[in-house]
Amino acid sequence: MLVQPGVHYYPGWLSREGQEALVTELETALEIAPWFQPTMPRWGTPFSVRMTNLGPLGWVSDKSGYRYQALHPDTGNPWPQLPESIRDLWRDVADYPHPPEACLVNYYGGKAKMGLHQDRDEADFDAPVVSLSLGDDALFRIGTLERDGPTTSLKLKSGDVLVFGGPARLAFHGIDRIYPGYSTLLREGGRINMTLRRVTYPAA
Ligand code: SIN
Ligand code: FE2
């Protein structure tokens, strides 16, 4: 379903069985790459979400800024590999000929949210951002290339996929709230969002 130019919504893309298998893979990945606490650049205010990453590069945020790096900020180890189902997801929906390099995994407890922002720390904006929701429902909002432009709200559910690229690649977006306790997928409750991105220009 086309939400607005460049924004495609695939409700229920991943089956319950597929979601459970992915959560099991995530649990293994978390043993190598545990949740870390991102903080805002400069002030060091903690985000309300916790994060980890999969793939060759991971997105991190701390006092010195936002960036991609190959190593976990706390353990110093490389990020775990991208699960096959995640690479399949990219191949099926990204409409982009090169593999993703980063899968940011955000964990939202019941009170977590994410303010409106653009994903713009990548070199290659030809690739879309592909996002998969797991666990509790979330109220997602996406707008235009301007922070105060009009926005559309979607309630993202477990297994839903959202792709934003092309004219919407730099659209402002965020999570207004979580609806805690709706899903039985995650043992600890809450919501996980996995965001796939191409970071670098592919070699010519
Ligand atoms: C993000 O924009 O990084 C997260 C979006 C989401 O949680 O659905
Ligand atoms: Fe984002």
- E-assigned strand segments in the chain: 2-4, 7-10, 50-54, 58-62, 65-69, 102-108, 114-117, 129-135, 137-142, 152-156, 161-164, 173-179, 191-197
Low-confidence ranges of the chain (pLDDT < 50): none
pLDDT at 97: 96
Predicted pLDDT at 204: 72
Backbone phi and psi for residue 109, each to the nearest 5 degrees, phi listed first: -75, 180
108 CA: nearest ligand 1 atom: 7
Q: Is 114 in the pocket of ligand 1 (CB under 6 A)?
A: yes
97-113 CB burial, b ≥16 within 10 A, e <16: eebbbbbbbbbbeeebe
Residues with CB under 5 A from ligand 2 (ion): 119
Q: Report the atom number in ligand 1 closest to the C-alpha of 104.
A: 3
- Which ligand does the CA of 131 lie closest to? 1
The letter for the amino acid at 167 is P
Cα–Cα distance measured from residue 191 to residue 182, given in angstroms and rounded to the nearest whole number: 10
CA of 193 to the centre of ligand 1 (A): 6
Whether domain 2-197 has CATH 2.40.70.10: no
Q: Does the CB atom of residue 134 touch ligand 1 within 6 A?
A: no
Amino acid occupying residue 172: F
Looking at all shown ligands, the one closest to residue 139's CA atom is 1
The helix (run of H) or strand (run of E) holding residue 23 is helix 16-32
Q: What is the pLDDT of residues 34-64, one digit of tens each?
A: 999 999 999 899 999 999 999 999 999 999 9
Tell me which ligand sits closest to the C-alpha of residue 119: 2
Q: Give distance in angstroms: CA of 187 to centre of ligand 2.
A: 25
Specify the residue with its C-alpha closest to ligand 1, atom 6: 193
- Look up residue 179 and give its DSSP letter: E
pLDDT of 203 reads: 83
